[in-house]
A and B are shown apart, each in its own frame.
Chain A
Amino acid sequence: MELLGNLALGFSTAATLDNLLYCLIGVVLGTLVGVLPGIGPLATIAMLLPATYKMSDPTTALIMLAGIYYGAQYGGSTTAILVNLPGESSSVVTTLDGYQMARRGRAGPALATAALGSFFAGTIATFMLAAFAPPLAEVAFKFGPAEYFSLMVLGLIGAVVLAHGSVLKALAMVVFGLLLGMIGTDVNSGVARFSFDVPELSDGIEFVAVAMGMFGFAEIILNLEQREKREVYTSKVTNLFPKWEDIKAAFPAFVRGTAIGSLLGILPGGGAVLASFSAYAIEKKISKHPEEFGKGAIQGVAGPEAANNAGAQMSFIPMLTLGIPTNPVMALMVAAMMIHNIQPGPQVMTSNPKLFWGLIASMWIGNMLLVILNLPLIGLWVKLLSVPYKFLYPAILVFCCIGAYSINNNVFDVFMTIPFAILGYVFKKLDCEPAPMLLGFVLGKLMEEYLRRAMTISRGDPTVFVTRPLSGTLLALAAILLIIVFLPAIAKKRQEAFAGDD
């Protein structure tokens, strides 16, 4: 019953007044940015990262940042249902049936289904996290440099597979990211690489500046260019509570969605998006009335919403147990831990049990807060959506500039966002997905370090990566993933899965 003891420790940590308050702040902020298209959890967490310096307890900081992340998944579905516009990429499929339900006057049940589905998935995922994290951390203690290197290869390949569009482009983007990660002082030789004698560059490029430029600013420019007009579904949202038949129809979809989300969420590369797509596909496939999908089938909302929330939560597993971020948001969480001098990795669970279990327990509390808060607050979110974009983006710009400056109290990081905004814009124009690049950028230096160590130990023999069983298995998995996406049949399916997702 160690599990219960751990969870008890977690809940007693998460339920302190401070932690509850920051959990609340996190989920409300997360919902807010989730509701608003054009600003996501990544930019928000990046913006608030400097503010966590002030917090005395790293647990509180992580609880708030995590709240932003899963809160955004909630908010994203509200926008999807009411405006037919995904607030977040993981709620793309929710637009299909959610908006149709809203058009038929069933916006209330659609919103409630999304919220309850997310809560159900969140509850299960919290327990799964608690149950699976310790054994995984055990395995991680057996990892040597070769295993870590192979694990990162698998992580990056995972990001490639889950990226939209061309696999080759995603691969090239990963390598690009790794190369950008090389900029700065080389730990082994002390040489400042690619820094062109700029002192600020010898510490490497600030991740937050890259993320803000490529995701925040590039997105703003693209939105301005499209002159998007959004139509808010204005009619009043009435009778929130779903009927008994609705719940009966939605519940099995909740269960299936949670299962899919939990499985895909552990995969490196950010499983929430893929999880919601797969859940939708499965619901449609097993339904007795597939023709209702796209016309307001409640399962089409229930399955994907459960799946994306479970996926978002499970993506904490690799970060918490191995110390390896599997998506850009997790990379920021790692940065938040580093700020407080906690080296992420399998030892966190034993050296900072309060942080580890407190964070996990806070997710369940946060999910509950979301259900309690969001249903009554839907009216407010709808109002927010009617704030025109022309007032919104200058605000985002100002907040991002404050955030970029506050990382090191230096305007250099503000300047750095500019080239990355241009880069992000160019890549979007060329159909190159920026997410794999960001992950490569985060892992670049670590990967080189582990490669060097492994090769030094093996005296220059590269076969160690294959002959060590754990490392070999990880590489084999990566190879299988790559082969699968290049198979013609799968490649076609993959295109279909991402079709319409933009």
Chain B
Amino acid sequence: MSPVDVARYLMRRNAAFFVVLAVYALAAATLYAIGWLHSDVIVTTAIFFIVVLGLDLLYGCAGLLSFGHVGFLAIGAYSVAVLHAQFALPPLVSMLIGLLVSAASGYLLGRVCLRLSGSYFMLGTLAFGIMVHAAITVGYTVTGGDGGLGGIPRPSLGGVVLSSDRSFGLMVWSLAVVLFWLTYSLSRSKVGRAARAIRSDELAAACLGVNVASLKMNLFVISACFASLGGSLFAMYNGAVHPDSFSLTTLLDLLLMMFFGGEGTIWGALLGTTFMRLLPDITGALQGGKILFSGVLFTIIIFALPRGIAGAIEDLIHRFSVRRRLGELGPAVGEFPFIANSGANSGTLLELNNVSRSFGGVLAVEDVSFRVDQGLIKGLIGPNGAGKSTIMNVISGVLQLHGGQVLLAGQPLNGLRPDQVARRGIQRTFQHERLFAQLTIIENIMVGQERGADGSLREIAACAVGLPGSVESEIAARSKAYQWLASLGLSRYAEARVGEVPHGLRKLVEVARCCAANPMILLLDETAAGLNNIERQAFKKIIRMLRDRGLVMVIIEHDIDFIMDLCDEVCVVNFGRRIADGPPAAIRKDPHVIEAYLGQ
């Protein structure tokens, strides 16, 4: 693919970047010319824009609400101030050092907090922010404490000191534009999709191959670096730092910028930042009421406009461009673009040997063994609470087994994370549909297509910059995903949001999402639940087609007719133990099975 094609694709995908910047430039230039906008507002907008970009990447994409980023802001600012005061280091050098310190502390903080749940994550990050603030206040001999620290010079580039607003502003805006491109590009790329998948449903994301822990950590560190950069620039611009600039109020201002602008949109950060920088002028009359105004605004945004202004605009565009059809037309199954991952020869592909798993001392699954051979569809049935879902969870790595082994093509799967299991070739659906609400339908399938994301810095860099390799695979993934939708007769839902698609069709999309990952084995956990008759027939057709193409499947269903119709072999479990295993006709007549279902 030629560089020109790559560039053209990127331009189209990142169109919002150009539009937003153009509009902003125009508006700013006009307002500046008529004297309504002052140069310091323009400069500080860029500085905070950089910080909020990082925050939006972390929360808007990955769903991590950190209350501690003022800490990184402070680290960046005080690195410049202190290193100049103590060692007369040039500001740009100190900025880099501050960046390193923030990255390191971000890494440590991430290690501690990312494994904590919701409230505790917020608290841990909040504690960090306060710690940094306290350290500044108390280390006053070095940091100037409550009096602040001044005397920070403007940086010099190539011998020229950027002392005017214009020259400094140019540097800051150049940096902001570059970071805007990188961040926006990232959010629209494979990494962005993986991050939003994590935000929507962490477990499903992992089972599709996303390395959740790694991606979260890297995004956390990156957003910390953004904040640090912003802090350093802030210090350079003002010439002085003061602990009050890094307090709870600042945190709230930043959050307000992100939420007002529109969390998740990335470009909303510019909107929000501009608004907040202009706010003192707007609320000039309400001098004393500025804080109250912020609070009221925040509350209103959270309840009335949770996606912010940019989000509302995107919603409007979506409503006009993606024409919505009624969902009464069912799926029409055509040829499935599935290629079997023939990693194994004929023979046993999946083997469970004496698998056990307990919960709090109670054995949910006890000594269960079964085999699934190549070219077969295996049913797994049993009364409620028999342990079927637990078995699925053990196979897919969601739960660790306490005894026995699971072998895939002869290789043991013990101790692997769900995303590792996914990469080995096992895909699964869930009892309750788990499409990624933050992504469109086609993006959902692309996540499967792209084998999740390994969450590495290398991948992040490639996607942010838009290297030809990553662009090519994205284009291929999108086209393949479209083929999958077309084969289900659902192509018109491609750009639809998950909530706009009827429930039954969503479940079929979930199946397509898994198949797009070209697995060796597909585990279907009560996928037919909630499907109407038409959808059920489509589902059966899909399964048969997949079997013919060589995909091995294990199906859990409660609709016995369904199972008997489709499966070649059926394994029955009750009270965590296997009580029967064989062809459907035999199972139906097996007295143990009858007893299990109807009672004794």
Report whether chain A binds chain B: no
